Amino acid sequence: MKRSVIRGTGRAVPSRLVTNEDLTKIMDTSDEWIRQRTGIEQRYWIPEGEELGASDLGLEASKKALDLAGWQAEDLDFIIFATLSPDIMFPGSGCLLADKLGLNSTPALDIRQQCTGFLYGLATADAYIKSGLASKVLVVGAEVHSTGLDKSTRGRDVTVIFGDGAGAVCVEGIETDENVGVIASCLHADGSGADSLMVELPASRLPDRMPKDLPADDPRYFPSMDGKKVFKKAVRKLPEVTKEVLEKADLAIDDVDMFFPHQANLRINQAYGQFMKIDESKIFNNIQRYGNTTAASIPMAFDEAIEQKLVGKKNDTVLFLGLGAGLTWGGVLYRFA
Residues making contact with ligand ACO (CB under 6 A) = 29, 33-34, 37-38, 84, 114-115, 156-157, 160-161, 197, 227-228, 230-231, 234, 264-265, 268, 292, 294, 324-325
Active site residue 262: yes
Beta strands in the chain (DSSP E): 2-12, 16-19, 42-45, 78-82, 108-111, 136-143, 165-175, 181-189, 197-198, 224-225, 258-261, 317-324, 328-335
Three-class SS state of 319: strand
Nearest to ligand ACO of 106, 293 (CB atom) = 293
- Distance between the two ends of the chain, CA-based, in angstroms? 14
- Smallest separation, CB 278 to ligand ACO (Å): 19
In the complex with ligand ACO, the residue whose CB is nearer, 76 or 325, is: 325
292 a catalytic residue = yes
Q: How far is the CB of 234 from ligand ACO (least distance, A)?
A: 5
How far apart are CB 116 and ligand ACO at their closest, in Å? 8
Q: How far apart are CA 203 and CA 218, in angstroms?
A: 13
Strands 136-143 and 165-175, bridge-based pairing: antiparallel
CA 40 – CA 56 distance, rounded (Å):
24
CB of 138 to ligand ACO, least distance (A): 23
Query: Is 95 marked active-site?
Result: no
Given 115, 145, 265, 269, which residue is catalytic? Answer: 115
In degrees, rounded to 5, the angle at the alpha carbon of residue 325 between the alpha carbons of residues 322 and 327 is 80
Q: Which is nearer to ligand ACO, 152 or 179 (CB)?
A: 152
Catalytic member of 20, 95, 262, 269: 262
Residues with a known catalytic role:
115, 262, 292
